[in-house]
């Protein structure tokens, strides 16, 4: 038996060692799997870093392209500035030439004016001389007829004067008048006739010269006005050219500053991108080094694992040898076991007997437990009875005190009687005898009552003392049993804690199951939302899909064609051609309390918007809550109210607008089509929204191409940028 036990112990020990080695092998496998997963994670991280590196390289290339384009634009602007500077220099040269011409003409005009002034003074002197001669010769004239006859014939002086008028616009000195101021004499018949003719000619010449002098002065004034206008025009041109040159230079400086700022910004961005690229390269190097270290560590660990595996294989070979030896010993032991089985059967019989006894003991234990419970109940009852007996004893003590007080009163009365007896000793014997008789009659009943009461109280006290002693014994026994039960109860908390830990684990698992169910529900809702959005993108008409999503009713193809025609008519019309809104009181009052309560639960699920009731909208044309006369009414829904096909649910519209305003440019671009369908936007307005969003999303903020009618005026679509 001892050898069999030792063999069993060795077998158990070998099995434990085998289990431990199998656990070690499983741990090695798990660590190998973990290392493979870590290597996969590191490879994924390396791929991510390479992707980020490529993306940074692409951004650097893009920035370089932008910088090259900006430099090209700067060169173009510089060439334009050079051309404009050349044009400005040419204009300045032209202005200088005009100034030189103007100064030359002004000097010529001044010289010519001085000459004319000299000639005018000379003519005035000569006229004065002629006038003096005329006054001197007027007395010698014979008559007027000869003078008139001579005056009718043209003189050579008039011919010279007329010829000079034809040749030039300016008045010249006649050739007949010499510098000395005397008129040459002409041959004639007689001195008197010749002198009179000469005088007449001189008078006429004087009149002619005065008229010509006036005309010359008029011509001089006109020439002065013309030259002053020309000078003012030239000055204006010069000022305009100077202002234009200044504006061009300012614009050139602004463009150059803008280009410098853009170049600086691009250089900063390029430097940031280079720094990011360097950081990424550093991270790549660090990750590669870490990966190399981990690979070396994994290789060393794998070598250690191989060594451990070989060692374990050797140990397994030794264990297999030991197992063979133990198999032989087991065969020997099996023979012994056959002999032992008979003893085992006997022991089983004894074990069965003992198990029956144990079952009987368990039954007895249950019986005693029931008895213990009954005794506990009895103990509680006895405790209540004891309290009642204590109350009774206190009552009896109070009655005893009252009886003692009554005895004291009787004794006082007896003393009084004795005093009265002493006083009445001197009286006759008959009253004495009567008094004694009365005293005996009074004394005996009182003594009998007191004795009876005292005996009853003493009997009750003895009974209560006996009962208390018995109850004290029972209480001691019960206390012993309670101590034993409390010891058993002290062993129960371990079991209760294990049960409670199992219950807590179950509760945690139930909570996790609830969380998983909630997440699955949310996943189903998101899938439903995504399917609805994809379905709305696949529908041929976006307006019908949105109306179907809002009202739950999809029109027929004919009705869709009619509605598309009506929408084209509305989009081609002006802003003021919108019909008034349909604000019906029945539709406003149709929102019940149940629908308002449903709104909170359906707030984040846009696929349930078809069950909501439509509410009234403000009278603004941008909301487009209109009812076309050509469209047919949809069938009645569950709410019991008729919803027109063109009336858009205000809550859905508000949800879309808030989502459009709070989302980024990439997400907002996907909502442009929905907004254009809900708000009845035209194609130009939709294109303008898309251009503005793409402009915000792009690297270079270019200005949108908008017609002036859309950027200015009362119905402007955008606010023009500041100059």
Nearest to 655 by CA among 580, 564, 546: 546
Give the tens place of pLDDT for each residue, 86-106: 887 887 888 788 878 878 877
Measured CA to CA, the distance from residue 681 to residue 567 in angstroms comes to 10
Residue 247 has pLDDT above 80, yes or no: yes
Specify the DSSP class assigned to residue 612: S
Average pLDDT over residues 479-502: 69
pLDDT band of residue 50 (cuts 50, 70, 90) is: confident
Which residues fall within 8 angstroms of residue 580, CB to CB, at 6 or more apart?
A: 619
Measured CA to CA, the distance from residue 530 to residue 639 in angstroms comes to 27
Could you tell me which residue, 566 or 683, shows the higher pLDDT?
683
Measured CA to CA, the distance from residue 119 to residue 171 in angstroms comes to 9
User: In this structure, what is the dihedral angle of CA atoms 454, 457, 459, 463, given to the nearest 10 degrees?
Assistant: -160
Measured CA to CA, the distance from residue 161 to residue 164 in angstroms comes to 5
Around Cβ 433, how many Cβ atoms within 10 Å? 10
Measured CA to CA, the distance from residue 379 to residue 482 in angstroms comes to 11
Q: Tokens 């720094």 appear where?
A: 275
Nearest to 442 by CA among 397, 420, 466, 410: 410
Residue 517 has pLDDT above 70, yes or no: yes
Lowest-confidence segment of 130-144, 376-390, 560-574 by average pLDDT: 560-574
503 by Cβ neighbours in 10 Å (0-12 / 13-18 / 19+) ranks as: exposed
Q: Tokens 């002197």 appear where?
A: 125
Could you tell me which residue, 563 or 327, shows the higher pLDDT?
327
36 by Cβ neighbours in 10 Å (0-12 / 13-18 / 19+) ranks as: exposed
And the tokens for 124? 């005035």
Lowest-confidence segment of 137-151, 386-400, 458-472, 696-710 by average pLDDT: 137-151
Give the tens place of pLDDT for each residue, 430-444: 555 655 665 565 555
Specify the DSSP class assigned to residue 715: T
User: In this structure, what is the dihedral angle of CA atoms 659, 663, 667, 673, given to the nearest 10 degrees?
Assistant: 40
Select, from the ranges 61-75, 451-465, 483-497, 611-625, the one with the highest average predicted confidence (pLDDT). 61-75
- DSSP H or E run through 103: helix 2-137
pLDDT band of residue 593 (cuts 50, 70, 90) is: very low
Q: Tokens 């991510």 appear where?
A: 48
Measured CA to CA, the distance from residue 649 to residue 637 in angstroms comes to 14
DSSP string, 416-471: HHHHHHHHGGGS-HHHHHHHHHHHHHHHHHHHHHHHHHHHHHHHHHHHHHHHHHHH
**Domain residue extents for the chain:** 15-134, 663-695
Could you tell me which residue, 342 or 115, shows the higher pLDDT?
115
Lowest-confidence segment of 52-61, 632-641, 645-654 by average pLDDT: 632-641
The CB-side HSE value for 344 (13 A sphere, CA atoms) comes to 7
Nearest to 172 by CA among 182, 164, 163: 164
Which residues fall within 8 angstroms of residue 22, CB to CB, at 6 or more apart?
A: none
And the tokens for 684? 């130009």
Around Cβ 371, how many Cβ atoms within 10 Å? 13
Beta strands in 250-290 (DSSP E): none
Is the separation of the CB atoms in 95 and 238 below 8 Å? yes
Beta strands in 256-368 (DSSP E): none
**pTM beyond 0.85, yes or no:** no
Radius of gyration (C-alpha) of the chain in whole angstroms: 69
For the chain, percent of residues with pLDDT exceeding 90: 0
Measured CA to CA, the distance from residue 205 to residue 166 in angstroms comes to 17
Is the separation of the CB atoms in 652 and 622 below 8 Å? no
Q: Tokens 């080695």 appear where?
A: 21
And the tokens for 440? 């005996």
Measured CA to CA, the distance from residue 566 to residue 562 in angstroms comes to 6
Give the tens place of pLDDT for each residue, 574-589: 333 333 333 333 334 3
Select, from the ranges 104-113, 133-142, 490-499, the one with the highest average predicted confidence (pLDDT). 104-113
- Give the CA distances from residue 26 to residues 15, 32, 300, 310, 694, in Å, rounded to whole numbers and listed in that order: 16, 10, 19, 15, 57
3-class SS at 334? helix
Q: Assign residue 170 a region: left if phi > 0, alpha if psi is -120 to 50, beta otherwise?
A: beta
Angle (nearest 5°) at CA 61 between 75 and 267: 55
Query: Across the chain, what does the average pLDDT equal?
Result: 69
Measured CA to CA, the distance from residue 209 to residue 480 in angstroms comes to 170
Give the tens place of pLDDT for each residue, 182-236: 444 444 444 545 667 777 887 888 788 888 888 888 888 888 888 888 878 888 8
Q: C-alpha 166: how far from its chain's center?
A: 93
Measured CA to CA, the distance from residue 113 to residue 678 in angstroms comes to 84
Nearest to 478 by CA among 380, 375, 385: 375
- How many residues does the structure list for the chain? 723
pLDDT band of residue 177 (cuts 50, 70, 90) is: very low
């Amino acid at each position: 038996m001892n050898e069999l036990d030792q063999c069993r112990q060795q077998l158990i020990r070998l099995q434990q060692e085998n289990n431990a080695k199998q656990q070690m092998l499983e741990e090695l496998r798990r660590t190998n799997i973990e290392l493979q997963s870590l290597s996969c994670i590191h490879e994924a991280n390396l791929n991510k870093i390479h992707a980020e590196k490529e993306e940074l390289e692409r951004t650097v290339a893009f920035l370089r392209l932008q910088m090259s384009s900006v430099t090209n634009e700067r060169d173009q602007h510089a060439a334009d500035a050079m051309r404009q500077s050349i044009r400005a220099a040419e204009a300045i040269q032209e202005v200088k030439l005009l100034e030189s011409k103007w100064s030359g003409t002004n000097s010529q005009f001044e010289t010519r004016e001085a000459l004319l002034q000299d000639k005018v003074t000379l003519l005035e002197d000569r006229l004065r001389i002629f006038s003096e001669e005329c006054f001197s010769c007027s007395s010698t004239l014979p008559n007027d007829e000869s003078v008139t006859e001579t005056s009718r014939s043209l003189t050579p002086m008039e011919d010279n004067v007329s010829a000079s008028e034809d040749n030039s616009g300016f008045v010249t000195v006649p050739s007949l008048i010499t510098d000395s101021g005397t008129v040459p004499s002409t041959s004639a018949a007689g001195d008197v006739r010749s002198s009179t003719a000469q005088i007449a000619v001189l008078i006429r010449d004087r009149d002619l010269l005065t008229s010509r002098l006036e005309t010359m002065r008029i011509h001089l004034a006109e020439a002065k006005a013309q030259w002053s206008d020309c000078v003012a025009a030239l000055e204006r041109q010069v000022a305009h050219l100077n202002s234009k040159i200044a504006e061009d230079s300012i614009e050139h400086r602004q463009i150059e500053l803008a280009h410098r700022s853009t170049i600086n910004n691009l250089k900063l961005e390029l430097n940031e991108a280079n720094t990011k690229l360097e950081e990424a390269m550093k991270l790549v190097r660090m990750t590669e080094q870490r990966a190399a270290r981990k690979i070396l560590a994994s290789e060393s660990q794998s070598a250690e694992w191989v060594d451990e595996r070989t060692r374990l294989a050797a140990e397994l070979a030794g264990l297999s040898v030991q197992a063979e030896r133990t198999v032989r010993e087991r065969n020997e032991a099996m023979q012994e076991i056959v002999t032992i089985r008979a003893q085992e059967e006997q022991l089983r019989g004894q074990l069965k007997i003992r198990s029956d006894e144990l079952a009987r003991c368990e039954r007895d234990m249950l019986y005693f437990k029931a008895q213990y419970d009954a005794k506990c109940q009895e103990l509680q009852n006895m405790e209540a009875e004891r309290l009642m007996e204590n109350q009774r004893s206190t009552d009896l003590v109070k009655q005893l005190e009252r009886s003692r007080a009554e005895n004291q009163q009787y004794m006082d009365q007896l003393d009084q009687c004795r005093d009265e007896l002493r006083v009445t000793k001197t009286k006759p014997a008959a009253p004495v005898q009567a008094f004694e008789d009365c005293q005996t009659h009074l004394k005996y009943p009182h003594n009998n009552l007191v004795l009876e009461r005292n005996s009853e109280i003493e009997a009750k006290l003895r009974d209560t003392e006996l009962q208390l002693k018995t109850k004290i014994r029972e209480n001691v026994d019960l206390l012993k049993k309670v101590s034993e039960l409390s010891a058993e109860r002290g062993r129960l908390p371990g079991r209760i804690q294990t049960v409670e830990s199992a219950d807590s684990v179950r509760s945690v698992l139930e909570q996790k199951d609830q969380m998983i169910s909630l997440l699955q529900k949310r996943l189903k809702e998101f899938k439903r939302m995504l399917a609805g959005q994809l379905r709305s993108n696949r529908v041929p008409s976006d307006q019908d899909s949105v109306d179907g999503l809002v009202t739950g009713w999809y029109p027929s193809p004919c009705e869709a064609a009619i509605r598309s025609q009506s929408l084209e008519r509305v989009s081609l019309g002006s802003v003021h051609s919108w019909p008034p809104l349909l604000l019906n009181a029945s539709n406003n009052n149709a929102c019940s309390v149940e629908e308002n309560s449903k709104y909170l639960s359906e707030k984040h699920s846009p696929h349930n918007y078809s069950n909501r009731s439509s509410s009234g909208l403000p009278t603004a044309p941008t909301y487009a809550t209109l009812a076309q006369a050509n469209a047919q009414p949809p069938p009645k829904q569950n709410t019991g109210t008729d919803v027109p096909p063109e009336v858009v649910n205000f809550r859905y519209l508000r949800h879309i607008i808030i989502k459009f305003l709070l989302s980024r440019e990439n997400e907002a671009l996907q909502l442009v089509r929905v907004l254009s369908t809900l708000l009845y936007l035209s194609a130009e307005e939709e294109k303008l929204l898309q251009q503005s969003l793409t402009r915000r999303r792009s690297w270079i903020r270019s200005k949108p191409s908008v017609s002036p009618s859309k950027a200015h005026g009362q119905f402007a679509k955008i606010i023009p940028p500041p100059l």
